[in-house]
Structure 1
Amino acid sequence: MSQGRPNKAIQKLGIQHPIIQGPFGGGNSTERLAAAVSNLGGLGSYGAHQLPPEELGRVAQRIRALTDRPFALNLWVSDHDVGGDALSPEAFDRAYQLFEPYYRELGVEKPAMPERFHHRFEDQVEALLEARPPVFSFVFGVPSAAILAECRRRGILTSGAATTLAEAEALDAAGVDLIVATGFEAGGHRPSFLARAEDSLMGTMALTPLVADRVKAPVIAAGGLADGRGIRAVLTLGAQAAQLGTAFLVCEESGTTDAHRELLFSDRAKQTTLTRAFTGRLARGLRNRWTEEMAARQTAFAPYPIQSWFLSKLKPAAVQAGRTDLVSLWAGQAAPNLRHRTVPTLMEALIKELSAA
């Protein structure tokens, strides 16, 4: 499919194959992973939304030291939900009550309230512009016209995620270079921005042709894709490339834990769920104790990023103890079909399956 039949997405991105590695947050992205995908003719990505602005440039430098091919840095346009930008000390104490039993269980002290719960998108994107990655990919919204214009001036391609046709049309109207049509089968966060994520649950096979038929920008399909069959299917439906997340997350080059990888290769991968329990925003992962115990406590969730911040202070102790019951285990619905444990073997299989078609 990528041999002799170049399309606009491949041409714009300067890649060989219509394969995009989805960006991961929470330390799951690595420079090694992004570079490995790019070196093999796909587009590697690095999820940078949790990084302080001063670190973005260093990440870009480290990726460039490993590859001379195009890659993407990814940010979240919306850095907080309503009520998630600041708390009073009293509200902080109330929010902590949900987490207190688990902090005690793992022997973690109550954290001090920070000045901010997340880095400002405006500061991060300024640093990203300075770093000049070949591609700026983003979720949870549309950057301002000024930011998009500055990307064009600096030769940075832009790629935005849509979970509905309306979101895709908004991205297209803003002049975004590429649009990722992401179905609800995908692992990780549902990056909806025009309506509640729960009201924006379209599948990849329905969303892809709806978007491809109505926007000018090339479409990248994402969600529930794990092998060459899935890529061929979305190319047939009008996408010009496919973005795979969980298939790359399980590769040894990613930053996730070995315990997470083994669960993704086990029967547990058959049971995923959509939950706000980890971050305050809707996301798909494996069911575990946290998702089950929080199911009845949704009214106690703090808004993003406060919910995420409290759990991030618990995560190191949980990981050190080998506990997978209290950490996020992102996984897409196609996880039971995962077969490959390294980027080279995965990319070789995908390219072979595409070429055979």
Structure 2
Amino acid sequence: MWDNRVTKLLNIEYPIIQAPMAGGVTTPELVASVSNAGGLGMVGAGYMEPGQLTSQIKEIKKLTDKPYGVNLFIPGDFRISKFDFDLAYNRLQPFRDELNIKEEVPVLPESKVDHVKFAQLLDVIIGEKVPVCSFTFGIPSEEVISKLKREGIILVGTATSLNEAVINENAGMDIVVGQGSEAGGHRGTFSEDGGDHLIGTMSLIPQLTEKVSIPVIAAGGIMNAKGVIASLCLGAKGVQMGTAFLTCRESGAHKVYKEAVLQATDTDTVLTRAFSGKWARGIKNQFIKDIEESQVHIPDYPVQNILTTQIRKAAASGNDSRFMSLWSGQSPGLAKDQTVKELIRDIVSQAEETKASF
């Protein structure tokens, strides 16, 4: 049941990939536990500095000898004037006042900085001989793809539409993750506005598997064996799960964040640009509500993400979920407080029982 193109390509036992959630969720313990349990653990390195990634990889290697991977954000080009940047900063002052944050106006970001860091992170991945590298928010250059392939690194892309899946295949990706609109966290959209085409997993996956020849991984709202089996029936060769792993004990998610997900219902998540300037799905809280009601202009990613950094950090330090980014897929009601081993064990056993009953 589990032996297919993805398990062979990734050299794993089960086609279960832990979503590469950036921001501290994917601890070495989480990544290694998933890999040791037969899946593929992934480091969410989108916000990491090269030194941080190096340290985490070395720690993972101490905890497992199984395959694992690293995910990177494709850097984009952006422009914002000093006037608009300061205006956006000032609009967030009420939140800083609420949290007693004394912060100077951050430095106006430059897109070239992200491009330099991206290149440095790639060097770390090559130097540490990471077996799998995935990408979100776009496709790396032809030069980068060729360089990684020469090193024998398996490349995984992200698509939220058929067009994006075809772009991934044509660019040379080995695998593509089809991210349905149910998925938590940031939309992987790169060819259009992330809030425009919101295709559900059940609709997206069979369309991708009919049109692209590379293996498709299903992502979005998958939490248990039922979701895994449904994805395989739709033609996917595996699944990528985020929220299910986020509430596991090995996850680095803040305790208040985990509790918010565990208590959330099916109607509690929304798509928002409030925290980062990029469309993302999370549990609606006071910050999202206030930003939406104010109808203020939200600068694009990564500007808004930079401007809300201290707000999110202060809220986390104070265990205040009102102003934290609580990313979650649309099935939080299925999340459990359990270990990674228990999660994967239950998925495998229940899936095999279900298959045997067909």
TM-score (norm 1): 0.94
Structure 1 stretch displaced more, 49-58 or 67-76: 49-58
Deviation digits for residues 51-94 of structure 1 (CA, Å, limit 9, x no counterpart): 112322222111111111111100111x346326xx52x43321
List gaps (5 residues or longer) in structure 1: none
1:304 maps onto 2:334 in alignment: no
The whole-number CA distance in structure 2 between the counterparts of 1:300 and 1:289 is: 18
The whole-number CA distance in structure 2 between the counterparts of 1:105 and 1:277 is: 17
Q: 1:33 aligns with which of 30, 34, 40?
A: 30
1:238 maps onto 2:235 in alignment: yes
1:97 maps onto 2:90 in alignment: yes
The whole-number CA distance in structure 2 between the counterparts of 1:298 and 1:204 is: 30
Deviation (angstroms), 1:14: 0.3
1:262 maps onto 2:255 in alignment: no
Deviation (angstroms), 1:116: 3.7
Contact 1:53 1:119 in 2 (8 A): no
The SS at the match of 2:43 is strand
Contact 2:247 2:336 in 1 (8 A): no
The one-letter code of the counterpart of 2:223 is A
1:283 maps onto 2:283 in alignment: no
Contact 2:283 2:326 in 1 (8 A): yes
The whole-number CA distance in structure 1 between the counterparts of 2:345 and 2:94 is: 46
Q: 1:63 aligns with which of 57, 60, 63?
A: 60
1:129 maps onto 2:118 in alignment: no
Q: In the alignment, which residue of structure 2 is the partner of 1:203?
A: 200
The SS at the match of 1:161 is strand
The whole-number CA distance in structure 1 between the counterparts of 2:147 and 2:260 is: 42
Structure 1 stretch displaced more, 97-106 or 54-63: 54-63
Structure 1 stretch displaced more, 91-100 or 108-117: 108-117
Contact 2:31 2:43 in 1 (8 A): yes
The SS at the match of 1:300 is coil
Contact 2:179 2:218 in 1 (8 A): yes
Contact 1:135 1:156 in 2 (8 A): yes
Identity %: 36
The whole-number CA distance in structure 2 between the counterparts of 1:325 and 1:113 is: 23
* C-alpha distance 116-124 of structure 1, shift in aligned 2 (>3 A): farther
The SS at the match of 1:51 is coil
Q: 1:339 aligns with which of 319, 336, 340?
A: 336
The one-letter code of the counterpart of 1:274 is L
1:83 maps onto 2:76 in alignment: no
1:348 maps onto 2:345 in alignment: yes
* C-alpha distance 59-153 of structure 1, shift in aligned 2 (>3 A): same
The SS at the match of 1:111 is coil
Deviation digits for residues 292-349 of structure 1 (CA, Å, limit 9, x no counterpart): 1111345421221111112111222211211100110011001112234221111111
Deviation digits for residues 154-199 of structure 1 (CA, Å, limit 9, x no counterpart): 1110000000000000000111010000100000011101111122
Structure 1 stretch displaced more, 202-211 or 102-111: 102-111
Deviation (angstroms), 1:115: 6.2
Contact 2:265 2:332 in 1 (8 A): no
Deviation (angstroms), 1:128: 2.5
Deviation digits for residues 5-30 of structure 1 (CA, Å, limit 9, x no counterpart): x1101100000001110011122221
List gaps (5 residues or longer) in structure 2: none
Deviation digits for residues 116-165 of structure 1 (CA, Å, limit 9, x no counterpart): 46643233323323332110011111111111111111111000000000
Q: In the alignment, which residue of structure 2 is the partner of 1:23?
A: 20
The SS at the match of 2:47 is coil
The SS at the match of 1:265 is helix
The whole-number CA distance in structure 1 between the counterparts of 2:237 and 2:342 is: 23
The one-letter code of the counterpart of 2:321 is T
Map 1:64-213 to 2 at 5 A: 64-77=61-74, 79-80=75-76, 82-83=78-79, 87-88=81-82, 90-114=83-107, 116=109, 119-120=114-115, 121-213=118-210
Structure 1 stretch displaced more, 257-266 or 67-76: 257-266
Q: Tell me the number of residue pairs that the alignment of Structure 1 and Structure 2 aligns.
A: 350
Structure 1 stretch displaced more, 339-348 or 22-31: 339-348
Q: What root-mean-square deviation, in Å, do the aligned CA atoms of Structure 1 and Structure 2 show?
A: 1.6
The one-letter code of the counterpart of 1:109 is K
Deviation digits for residues 242-295 of structure 1 (CA, Å, limit 9, x no counterpart): 111100001111111111111211145641000000100000000100111111
The one-letter code of the counterpart of 1:60 is I
